[in-house]
Amino acid sequence: MIKVTAVYRWREGATFNHDYYHSEHMRIARAALQPLGLVRLESDRVLYPGEPRPGQIVALTNAFFGDLTQAQAAAKATMAELSADIPNYTNIQPDSYFAQVLEHPVTA
């Protein structure tokens, strides 16, 4: 399993519309990625006890695919569409990376 993660780090003057991101942008992402092998899509709203400080992660997305070839092809095919939606919810440019997901089952 391969995970593609986009991470949004707070900076001075940043804005982030979590409602839009977790509803509309995730709908757009799911529709674009599902035909390309998307297995699971998650989005996180990171919680802090106060206002976020520069460098802190405020949101992230994980998109899961069966293998690296699928994940890379999906990212390449949808990058323009998904990037075009970013100004609708933030002025932060996300950092993204690919990772192999390793499972560590919990036993009773």
- Give 28-44 pLDDT, tens digit per residue: 999 999 999 999 999 99
Choosing among 3.40.50.2300, 3.30.70.100, 3.65.10.10, 3.40.50.300, the CATH entry for 2-100 is 3.30.70.100
The predicted pLDDT at position 98 comes to 98
Domain ranges in the chain are 2-100
Give the single-character DSSP code of 4: E
Alpha carbon 95 to chain centroid, angstroms: 9
Torsion of CA 76, 81, 82, 85, to 10 degrees: 160
| pTM, to two decimals | 0.91
Under-70 pLDDT residues of the chain:
none
Q: Which two tokens stand for residue 38?
A: 């998307």
Compute φ and ψ for 48, nearest 5 degrees.
-125, 155
